[in-house]
Structure 1
Amino acid sequence: MLKSIPKKLKTDGSISAIYGMEESGSLELPLFSARVAAGFPSPAEDHLESRLDLNQHLIRNPSSTFFVRAAGESMMEAGIYDRDLLIVDRSIEKRNRRVVIATLNGEFTVKRLVQDEEGIFLAAENPDFDSIPIRVDSDFSIWGVVTYVIHEV
């Protein structure tokens, strides 16, 4: 499913790797019909309902999708942690308040896109990090919108 893109990345520290989408079929896993409660599970509800294809569930536009490995703590309050895998779609509209993968002056970053009366910013989701203003002379490009975050629990 992940195909490493062998490039040296220049980042602001919020991204450690970028991967391409490998379209090699489906990834079907068991899907159980019972919902999982936080309490004691009922053995009577342990039966398989169907199979869930994670590619169909998580990847809306395969030809426009890539993956990014997050690094650092700047997006913690958005639920993005160090080493998380981000699913990114280039075809989704880059609107205000969406979490995006962008390049700014040659460096990759993952931040929340914010546009208000003061201008356009790449906002961190951690009060220990400053927002980054996008100036007229900035070399700025949005690569895609983060659609899902996958992390270990």
Structure 2
Amino acid sequence: MKVIPIYARAGITGFESPAAEYLQQSLQLDEILIEHPSATLIVQAEGDSMQGVGIFDGDILVVDRDLTVKNHDIVVAYFNGEFVCKILDLKNRRLLSANEDNKPVSITCNEMFTVEGVVSKSIRCHYPSKFFG
């Protein structure tokens, strides 16, 4: 993919074409989005529980399994038989939503729980993708 970097200035000083002095750079989208290819999952978000942090229904999430999980990271986890995207509260052993309509969920020793990875990036699709229904 060729990228033409165009920079917008705060003030307009003339009518020169933005492409007048462009530079083409070789760029691969996966190089920008994926830091650890062998440890990365691509998943699709479902629901409205993470809207407060900018993750909406249908967004594509880049999940990095190689990152060390820290308190309040956004993670994809396997919780009692389903995959969820939540904020992980390590100190209080809870899963938090970013939507005030959803209450925190405690992670007890009776729960099936594993962190699949940290959400490193999210992508919003404005046109339906053939990969995700």
Structures share fold, TM-score greater than 0.5: yes
Task: Compute the displacement of 1:45 (Å).
Answer: 2.4
1:120 has 2:93 as partner: yes
1:31 has 2:3 as partner: yes
Structure 1: give runs of 5+ residues left out of the alignment. 1-28
Larger Cα-atom Rg: 2
Q: Following the alignment from structure 1 to structure 2, what is the Cα–Cα distance between the partners of residues 51 and 79?
A: 29
Q: How does 1:50-89 map to 2 (within 5 A)?
A: 50-89=25-64
Q: Following the alignment from structure 1 to structure 2, what is the Cα–Cα distance between the partners of residues 75 and 60?
A: 23
Q: Name the Cα RMSD after superposition.
A: 2.1
Q: Among all aligned residue pairs of Structure 1 and Structure 2, give the percentage whose two residues are the same amino acid.
A: 34
Decide which structure has greater strand share.
1
Q: Is the 8 A contact 1:30 1:48 kept in 2?
A: no
1:145 has 2:118 as partner: yes
- Give the TM-score of the pair, scaled to structure 1: 0.73
Post-superposition Cα deviations, 1:35-88, rounded to whole Å, max 9, x if no partner, equal 246998x65222233122111111101000111110110000111001000001
Q: Is the 8 A contact 1:100 1:145 kept in 2?
A: yes
Q: 1:45 aligns with which of 18, 35, 38?
A: 18
- The alignment partner of 2:27 has SS state of strand
What is residue 135 of structure 1 aligned with on the other side? 108
Q: Following the alignment from structure 1 to structure 2, what is the Cα–Cα distance between the partners of residues 104 and 39?
A: 51
Q: Following the alignment from structure 2 to structure 1, what is the Cα–Cα distance between the partners of residues 71 and 122?
A: 19
- The alignment partner of 1:143 has SS state of strand
Change (3 A) 1:144 1:38: farther
Task: Compute the displacement of 1:130 (Å).
Answer: 1.0
Q: 1:104 aligns with which of 73, 79, 95?
A: 79
Equivalent residues, number: 123
Q: Following the alignment from structure 1 to structure 2, what is the Cα–Cα distance between the partners of residues 38 and 121?
A: 44
Structure 2: give runs of 5+ residues left out of the alignment. 127-133
